[in-house]
Structure 1
Amino acid sequence: MPPWRAVGSTVLRVLAVWAVSTLTMLLLAGGLPDFRLQSADGDTATRIAVTAGIGAGAFGVLSALVWPVLVRALLLVPALVLGLLVFFLNGSLLWIALRLVPERGEVNPETAVVVAAVMSAASSATSTFLAVRDDGAYRRRLARLADRRRRRAGAGPPEDTPGTVFLQLDGVGHAVLREAMEGDNPLMPTLAGMCGDTHRLTPWRTDWSSQTGASQLGILHGSNEDVPAFRWYEKETGEVLVSNRPSGAAELQRRAVARTGGYGLLERDGASRGNLFSGGARQLALVLSVAARRGRDTRSRAGYFAYFADPANATRTAVSFVAEIFRELTQSVRARLRGDAPRVRRGGLYPLVRAFATVVQRDVVVAAVIGDILGGRTAVYADLVAYDEVAHHSGPRGRDTRQVLRSLDRAVRLIVKAADHAPRPYRIVLLSDHGQSAGQTFAGAYGLTLEDLVRAGCGLPVPRRAGRTPSGAEARAAARVALHRPEEAGRHEEVPRKPPRSAGPVVLASGNLGLISFPDVPGRMSREAIEARHPALLRALADHPGVGFLLVHSERHGPVVIGAGACEHRLATGETLGETDPLAVFGPGAAAAVRRTAGFPHAADIMVNSCVDPASGEIHAFEEQIGSHGGLGGEQNQAFLLSPLRLSPPVSEGELVGAEQVHGVLRRWLREGRASGSRWGSGSRRPDQQDEPVPGERVS
């Protein structure tokens, strides 16, 4: 396009947005009693229109020039607080704009907030509509972004070398995804159109610790060795390590890098967005493992500036945030009135956490990924946590989660459309880190918590009223970081970082996986020592109807799985005792998964997995969750990979098992991208291309 046409197109877009803003201001002035666009003596319709045009233009100029400066200055303000300040800041800019129209524009502060929000939304919708329809505008913006990137980082890769976007739909299981893509009117039409046409759907089986900390560490860094659960007690330090605390995520990442000798999946021109771990990427936004660091490029909140610098983005997200809070409150009341069961409490801060996960985190991460695509980055890995957070409280197939799946499909569509305009071809890979299993909580089903049961088996006093284990999910950690909430929050923390050694056994929960440790006994306490000290404990746990099996370490037989009725499975030899194998109901891969975890240095003295209903797949979480994951049983162990047909199949035969194997598959696909080019076609692979070793890669 000739330069004069490019300039003309830009001018026409600006005029169109200005006209819509002016019309919006006129309509609001006619409908709001505290907002006027004329002098006290009255004005002609023409003069009022001119006043509206001047006011709208001044507001647009102030938003473009002042807003980015305000957002950068307010980066130290907690993100959720910034979301609420958006309204008042925007209203202040409008008030200033009207001050530039002497004796005619007048609005009180409260009305200015409303007018500014509506005008920002209207101008944003107009601008987006025009930009989407104008391919030339897309190309010019892509060229500017690519040019900035090349100037900043030197010469980039050839444009015909494909990049790869890995988009993680946190907690979406294989079966849930298939159901969402079925039918003539699928719940997720974008993904349904991809599956079978351009992509293949492959299930993969998680490790015993089926939660984001273990899965994402293995996927991004190639090793999740010695990650037995979401949270666990380490006797040598006397501390509880929690995967979604910034200090815990940083320590897990450090250990994984030390084991593999490498830096992760994204070490070559990669970006990590909304994840627990960096994956070796230098470009980071909302990454928990760097949340405690200081610096412009490593700060976990660095992604907020790029998004909230646009006042229209800020207004749209703030409005959606407030709407989501009211939606949650309404849905919670309806669930109580309908008598939905099972059900957990959804009050307190949960409406804010849900709104953060389903609106703020989603919008910021999607915008960051689109920016990476338009900038031509080689590899991007992003996590969208919305479904996982809502499913914990509403169930994997609840009415609320269906709405979240629709919004995730729209997010994927935005990213796919952005890839169509990127300066290089992109392969879009979708995957999940685990699924979710439904079921009533352990405390709800049996009237006592796992800790109560353990204390009773040890002969210790049990509280009269059953307590509850708070839900631990990725969105809560991200929201705490966004709020600048200190990691150490005293009695309000879900789990004390240093449990007192004199308080008896430490009992922790990770979905339907429980961990029991005896702090006063160094190293792993053997089965024989446990039975000598607490003769009734193991039988009380194994014979409870809500418990599926226990894992302990025997001095004579090594790791042993104990079930009800004196049934055992000795993992070292495969020998089973009793009428049934305690692991049989959990599937053919259960024994291998439990055997691997049994070798972890930080496996608990007693590891408890809840029972599973073989017909429905329902489990009992030891946390306050009716949709949960973390152990074995049901759909939580079946995640998915939705990959382009141009990439090699994830496995040639058999089943894809464990996050470390998934890491190997994703690394292979990145190597295929580097090996491909114009000669071999986008995303293809040379017939003679071998999987060259990558420094630091861990071979499973």
Structure 2
Amino acid sequence: MAAWRRAGGAVLRVLVVWAVSTLTMLVLAGVLPDFRLQSADGDSATSIGVTAALGAGAFGLLSALVWPLLVRALLLVPALVLGLLVFFLNGSLLLLALALLPDYRGETDPQTAVVVAAAMSAASSAANTFLAVRDDRAYRRRLARLADRRWRRSGRRLIPATPGTVFLQLDGIGYDVLRDATTAPAGGEPLMPGIAAMLRDTHRLVPWHTDWSSQTGASQLGILHGSNEDVPAFRWYEKETGEVVTSNRPSSAARLQRRAAEHSGEPGLLAHDGASRGNLFSGGAAQAALVLSVSARRGRHNRSRAGYFAYFSDPANATRTAASFVAEVVREIAQSTRARLRGDSPRVPRGGLYPFIRAFATVVQRDVVVASVLGDILNGRTAVYADLVAYDEVAHHSGPRGRDTHQVLRRLDRSVGLIAKVAAQAPRPYRLVLLSDHGQSPGETFASHYGLTLEDLVRAGCGLPVSRRARRSASGAEARAAARAALHRPEDGHGAEPHWPAPTSDPVVLGSGNLGLISFPSIPGRATREEIDRRHPALLRTLANHPGIGFLLVDTERHGPVVLGPGDSEHRLDTGEIVRADPLEPYGPRAAALVRRTARFPHAADIMVNSALDRATGAVHAFEEQIGSHGGLGGEQSRAFLLYPRLLSPPDADGEPVGAEQIHRVLRGWLREAEAAQAVTTPFVPARAHLR
């Protein structure tokens, strides 16, 4: 009887969606002058209705049968382009459906076909969504069918009964932001009610302190591969090659991953039956989707692109994501216009390609990554690590606590809730761990506040000409690189600083959030304070005494690495000796150890610059075009979070964990606990059976 009820429910859903599509086609035929459903001599209302029903049925059948084949044929087309082609492909299917109608009753032009197909797909999706409210298992069963097909192709037939673990990285959300978002205001509901319920019932929330380089490249590399040695910033100049290494460039990410594996001697957090989704690095996982370190690979064996096919093979998913993409572009344009009209301050430019980059991060990347994670859960994957970059991208341009980011937090909460709901009915038990790689600190940009860029200040201190127009650094946001990889754009096409020629003695100045890096290509090896003073006597004092700069790190011939601050203050890191005052004191008790670790990196810049910190507000000054930034020390950017099930061991018995490598050890320990929980295997059971 249960099987008959499910079959009856499926037939009812098909009939309802068919009826909605038919009605939508009739309405459009009535309002669009270039779309008709009757012969030239005219037809009765009944004939027109039958024609609409046949057209809607043909369109739905073609979408179900032909669409997956189209997506598979276009799998090597850039994923973002494929998302934008959804409307045109749907329009082509509608033209084909109309051509199949008898007596040429259906007719339209290609432009109108795109509109009609989009409207019908939206109506069908809305009907499916309404029915899913009444039967919330329908959507999960569809995902289960996809998971079953992938499982059978993989040849696996056993699902371990030990718990699996899903690590979900909410990129850029600091500990304080998450704590506030899960705390209900007086008489109200928390901003993230789903995560608040987890925290209340099953999970604990603790902070962890990032390395000096508080950005995704360093944090995620350390978390996934156990080492972020010699990663001084998001981007840095390497003198031996004359190249700028940028963490979110695919070739650089692949190189950093190899370096980390060599240094740690480990295959990665996800090497055992793991999946990496939406990350900069693979973590050693055999299954990877939207992972930058493998995205430079081309051809049929590029597994990083498999997640796109799994998602876009469903025409309803494709249409819904494409429509949401357009809506997000419009939303960003409206929000930035309102911010400009209100005179919000601080503010950064949000034109150009940014609305599309934001839409990619908050819609396309989110949808594909969440669908991939759900597939991994239904397939019984042992360990999954996924990164959702939506908040980080929006916070860079709108601020960490603006109204724009509140909307993103609500949508992330729904994504987490969906993953938790599917995990609760998966073929094996799952433990859901939420974490972030860093936070974000607010503040006006250095260039906006002081009227010159860090590069201008350095050139002035060196006695070099200063450009009349400041050059902007490219944003370090992960979404920009992910979108570029999806578009198959050349790595060096952004115009930032991919390969820096060194024919002159001009310094190379780079920004990484509120961390600046200054290198002198003409000085072999690490330049010392003494050498810099001989060549540019005013530079170090100019920088150290500037009100927008908190401290500098330089090497010295006599004292080793030294931190310089205003008024000739010094902190000699090797001995701990303080001269006049401690420049690191405003940055907390961990600052000295974190800076000392970076000082010994082979590729630390000749001068490492950290912006000033407003201790009252936690504001910093980014050396990039960002009003929410991370990359150095100061404010909430250094306090990330871990939200983990209470049944797991505490991450650090002595207090707050420090550094991404320590988080790697914590997560690896939790995986070992899961392996030891129950050493039993069970026969393969179709994933959809668990969702009935």
Instruction: Work out the percentage of aligned pairs sharing the same amino acid.
Output: 74
Q: Note closer, same or farther for the CA distance 1:547–1:141 as it changes in structure 2 (3 Å cut).
A: closer
Contact 2:502-2:522 within 8 A present in 1 as well: no
Structure 1: which 5+ runs fail to align? Answer: 680-700
**Which stretch shifts more, 640-649 or 439-448?**
640-649
Contact 2:144-2:375 within 8 A present in 1 as well: no
Contact 1:292-1:299 within 8 A present in 2 as well: no
**Partner AA of 2:375 in structure 1:** G
SS in 1 for 2:335: helix
Alignment of 1:272 onto 2:276: yes
Contact 2:159-2:428 within 8 A present in 1 as well: no
Equivalent-residue separation in structure 2 for 1:6 and 1:186 (angstroms): 37
Look up the match of 2:84: 84
Q: Note closer, same or farther for the CA distance 1:146–1:89 as it changes in structure 2 (3 Å cut).
A: closer
Alignment counterpart, residue 507 of structure 1, candidates 503, 506, 509? 509
Displacement of 1:143 in angstroms is 7.0
Alignment of 1:68 onto 2:68: yes
Alignment of 1:108 onto 2:109: yes
Alignment of 1:303 onto 2:304: no
- Taking the TM superposition and a 5 Å limit, the aligned residue runs for 1:125-140 are 125-130=126-131, 133=135, 135=137, 138=140
Equivalent-residue separation in structure 2 for 1:260 and 1:73 (angstroms): 40
Look up the match of 2:182: 181
Look up the match of 1:318: 322
Contact 1:139-1:421 within 8 A present in 2 as well: no
Equivalent-residue separation in structure 2 for 1:423 and 1:367 (angstroms): 17
**Partner AA of 2:626 in structure 1:** Q
Equivalent-residue separation in structure 2 for 1:299 and 1:397 (angstroms): 36
Alignment counterpart, residue 450 of structure 1, candidates 429, 450, 454? 454
Structure 2: which 5+ runs fail to align? Answer: 681-692
Alignment of 1:524 onto 2:526: yes
Look up the match of 1:585: 586
Equivalent-residue separation in structure 1 for 2:285 and 2:535 (angstroms): 49
Contact 1:229-1:513 within 8 A present in 2 as well: yes
Equivalent-residue separation in structure 1 for 2:145 and 2:115 (angstroms): 36
**Partner AA of 1:588 in structure 2:** P
Q: Note closer, same or farther for the CA distance 1:191–1:518 as it changes in structure 2 (3 Å cut).
A: same
Displacement of 1:125 in angstroms is 3.2
Alignment of 1:410 onto 2:411: no
Look up the match of 1:645: 646
SS in 2 for 1:657: coil
Q: Note closer, same or farther for the CA distance 1:503–1:87 as it changes in structure 2 (3 Å cut).
A: farther
Equivalent-residue separation in structure 2 for 1:553 and 1:471 (angstroms): 29
Contact 2:273-2:382 within 8 A present in 1 as well: yes
Equivalent-residue separation in structure 2 for 1:304 and 1:214 (angstroms): 27
SS in 2 for 1:257: helix
Displacement of 1:581 in angstroms is 0.7
Q: Note closer, same or farther for the CA distance 1:517–1:200 as it changes in structure 2 (3 Å cut).
A: same
Look up the match of 2:564: 562
Displacement of 1:297 in angstroms is 4.4
Q: Note closer, same or farther for the CA distance 1:54–1:455 as it changes in structure 2 (3 Å cut).
A: same
SS in 2 for 1:300: helix
Equivalent-residue separation in structure 1 for 2:504 and 2:467 (angstroms): 17
Q: What is the CA deviation profile of residues 232-251 of structure 1, one whole-angstrom value per residue up to 9, with x for unaligned ones?
A: 11111111111000111000
Equivalent-residue separation in structure 2 for 1:296 and 1:218 (angstroms): 30
SS in 1 for 2:338: helix
Look up the match of 1:142: 144
Look up the match of 2:546: 544
Equivalent-residue separation in structure 2 for 1:510 and 1:138 (angstroms): 41
Alignment of 1:439 onto 2:439: no
Alignment of 1:379 onto 2:379: no
SS in 2 for 1:639: strand
Superposition RMSD on alpha carbons, in Å? 1.9
**Which stretch shifts more, 295-304 or 190-199?**
295-304
Displacement of 1:261 in angstroms is 1.7
Look up the match of 2:348: 344
**Which stretch shifts more, 410-419 or 533-542?**
410-419
Q: What is the CA deviation profile of residues 142-194 of structure 1, one whole-angstrom value per residue up to 9, with x for unaligned ones?
A: 37734751562423333x32111111111011111111112232111111111
Q: Note closer, same or farther for the CA distance 1:634–1:106 as it changes in structure 2 (3 Å cut).
A: same
Q: Note closer, same or farther for the CA distance 1:417–1:30 as it changes in structure 2 (3 Å cut).
A: farther
**Which stretch shifts more, 431-440 or 668-677?**
668-677
Look up the match of 2:607: 606
Q: What is the CA deviation profile of residues 285-343 of structure 1, one whole-angstrom value per residue up to 9, with x for unaligned ones?
A: 11000111134343433321111111111111111111111111111111111111111
SS in 1 for 2:501: coil
Alignment of 1:393 onto 2:394: no
Alignment of 1:252 onto 2:256: yes
Contact 1:441-1:626 within 8 A present in 2 as well: yes
- Taking the TM superposition and a 5 Å limit, the aligned residue runs for 1:192-207 are 192-207=196-211
Look up the match of 1:694: none
Alignment counterpart, residue 479 of structure 1, candidates 483, 486, 489? 483
Displacement of 1:353 in angstroms is 0.8
Q: What is the CA deviation profile of residues 593-631 of structure 1, one whole-angstrom value per residue up to 9, with x for unaligned ones?
A: 101111111111110000000100100001111110000
Q: Note closer, same or farther for the CA distance 1:463–1:140 as it changes in structure 2 (3 Å cut).
A: closer
SS in 1 for 2:562: strand
Q: Note closer, same or farther for the CA distance 1:206–1:459 as it changes in structure 2 (3 Å cut).
A: same
**Partner AA of 2:36 in structure 1:** R
**Which stretch shifts more, 111-120 or 547-556?**
111-120
Q: Note closer, same or farther for the CA distance 1:672–1:24 as it changes in structure 2 (3 Å cut).
A: same
Equivalent-residue separation in structure 2 for 1:527 and 1:52 (angstroms): 79
Equivalent-residue separation in structure 1 for 2:550 and 2:146 (angstroms): 58
**Which stretch shifts more, 645-654 or 226-235?**
645-654
Alignment of 1:26 onto 2:60: no
Displacement of 1:15 in angstroms is 2.5
Look up the match of 1:11: 11
- Normalised by the size of structure 1, how large is the TM-score? 0.93
Contact 2:140-2:422 within 8 A present in 1 as well: no
Contact 2:396-2:629 within 8 A present in 1 as well: yes
**Partner AA of 2:72 in structure 1:** R
**Partner AA of 1:15 in structure 2:** L
Alignment of 1:123 onto 2:124: yes
Contact 1:307-1:313 within 8 A present in 2 as well: yes
Q: What is the CA deviation profile of residues 186-233 of structure 1, one whole-angstrom value per residue up to 9, with x for unaligned ones?
A: 111111111121111111100000000000000000100110000011
Displacement of 1:653 in angstroms is 2.7
- Normalised by the size of structure 2, how large is the TM-score? 0.94
Q: What is the CA deviation profile of residues 31-89 of structure 1, one whole-angstrom value per residue up to 9, with x for unaligned ones?
A: 33332222233333332222122111111111111111212222333333222221111
**Partner AA of 2:618 in structure 1:** G
Alignment of 1:360 onto 2:361: no
Equivalent-residue separation in structure 2 for 1:143 and 1:47 (angstroms): 37
Equivalent-residue separation in structure 2 for 1:68 and 1:534 (angstroms): 63
